[in-house]
Amino acid sequence: MSETGSHENVSEKNLPTEQQNGHGAVAVADDPFADPGLPPHEPRIQDMDERAAKRSERVVAMLFTASMLATLGFIASFVLIPVDKFIYVWPAGRIGALNFALGMTLGVALFCIGAGAVHWARTLMSDHELVDERHAVSAEPETRAKVMEDFAQGAKESGLGRRSLIRKTMFGALTLVPLSGVVLLRDLGPLPEDKLEHTLWSKGKLLVNENTQEPLRPEDITVGSLTFAMPEGLEEEDEDFQQQIAKAALMLVRLEPDDIKDKRELDWSHEGIVAYSKICTHVGCPVSLYEQQTHHVLCPCHQSTFDLSDGARVIFGPAGHALPQLKISVNNDGFLEAQGDFEEPVGPAYWERRA
């Protein structure tokens, strides 16, 4: 057999050691998949020139810093750009300015962190290639000890402790990026501020009949009747009509003054006319059923019952609070008007949310 012939009749134990281990420097002629081995290590310029290493360090720090600035830009865009603003971007055309700004800034923030990490690994971390043979899935104590040793060695070779500029800017970028997700929570809905505490009612606001859209006079409300009212100036064509009427809807009942048990209710009424919120304090259904003999009003949804002769307190059902009362009087023209807003917020579960 010639020197260039096949090794098919040669046992593996007679092969050179490097070929037995599968990492021979020369591939077997008839085996195109033989392991050619590792190429010789070539040092990088950063390994030989500290000035080049410093330049790479500054590039990595610049990328991490750019990520921080992009994250701040994401937050600023979310706060400052109106949701209904549109811009023209070629070639996409006319798109929402807020979506465009959020996508660009978040994309840049994530890209710069990734690019900084890759550049750091390729230019400053150790680039020696290591080969480790397959081993059993279960690790032996010696293996675990080796892993920890390798980890410590890798941490040392990464230069994280020595290169403080990279460490600080990387931690800064990784700290700021999660703020993007936190800021998105703001989009769960508008901030309530103190909107739950106020309605359109204010001092001097006329009581308008919901059906006729005409201001109400005391003589329009007879004993035993139930009348629904809303604030002057609120129109069904208004964009926020449903939101406002859901808080300001009012019901008026005329009682005999002697039948009113609660002193404040009597003081806030006019000639026995009492004004209460129409919104049930259970789940916000409209209270609309009135029993004139008992002066009880009933919510049709879950049968919460309120006594209008005794401060609209709850006498039955799941509602947790009395209906808020609106203080009313008559102006110089003889029309019923509010003397202010409700003193407590209307609707359900408010006090539980405040607690």
Per-residue pLDDT at 20: 47
User: Are 107 and 219 part of one and the same domain?
Assistant: no
Can you give the residue range of the structural domain that contains 92? 45-124
In a domain, 294, yes or no: yes
pTM score: 0.50
Q: Clarify whether residues 120 and 229 are in a common domain.
A: no
Say if 351 falls within a structural domain: no
167: in domain: no
In a domain, residue 354? The reply is no
Q: Are 209 and 298 in a shared domain?
A: yes
Tens place of pLDDT per residue across the chain (355 aa): 444 444 444 444 444 444 444 444 444 456 777 777 777 888 889 888 999 999 999 999 999 999 999 999 999 999 999 988 999 988 888 889 999 999 999 999 999 999 999 999 999 988 777 777 666 667 788 888 898 898 888 888 888 778 889 889 999 999 999 888 888 887 777 776 777 778 899 999 999 999 899 999 999 998 888 999 999 999 888 888 888 898 899 999 999 999 999 999 999 999 999 999 999 988 889 998 999 889 999 999 999 999 999 999 999 999 888 999 999 999 999 999 999 999 888 888 655 544 4
| Rounded distance between C-alpha atoms, residue 226 and residue 92, angstroms | 58
Residues 210 and 120 in one domain: no
CA proximity to 248, closest of 324, 179, 136, 143:
324
Residues 209 and 120 reside in one and the same domain:
no
Look at residue 218 in the predicted model and tell me its pLDDT: 93
CATH number for the domain harbouring residue 264 = 2.102.10.10
Rounded to whole angstroms, how far apart are CA atoms 144 and 135? Answer: 12
Whether residue 321 sits in one domain with residue 211: yes
Say how far apart CA 217 and CA 207 lie, in whole Å: 9
Residues 6+ apart with CB under 8 A from 226: 251, 252, 253, 288, 290, 297
Tell me whether residue 188 is in a domain. Answer: no
- Of 101, 124, 147, which residue constitutes the final position of a domain? 124
Q: 240 and 116 in one domain?
A: no
Domain termination residue (choose one: 93, 124, 155): 124
Task: Determine, yes or no, domain membership for 51.
Answer: yes
The answer to the question of residue 185 being in a domain is no
In a domain, 95, yes or no: yes
Beta bridge partners of 279: 286
Tell me, yes or no, whether 214 and 322 share the same domain.
yes
Among residues 173, 176, 186, the alpha carbon closest in space to that of 81 is found at 186
What angle do helix axes 164-176 and 97-123 make, rounded to 10 degrees?
150
Q: What is the number of domains present in the chain?
A: 2
Structure tokens at 74: 């994401």
- The answer on 105 and 222 residing in a single domain is no
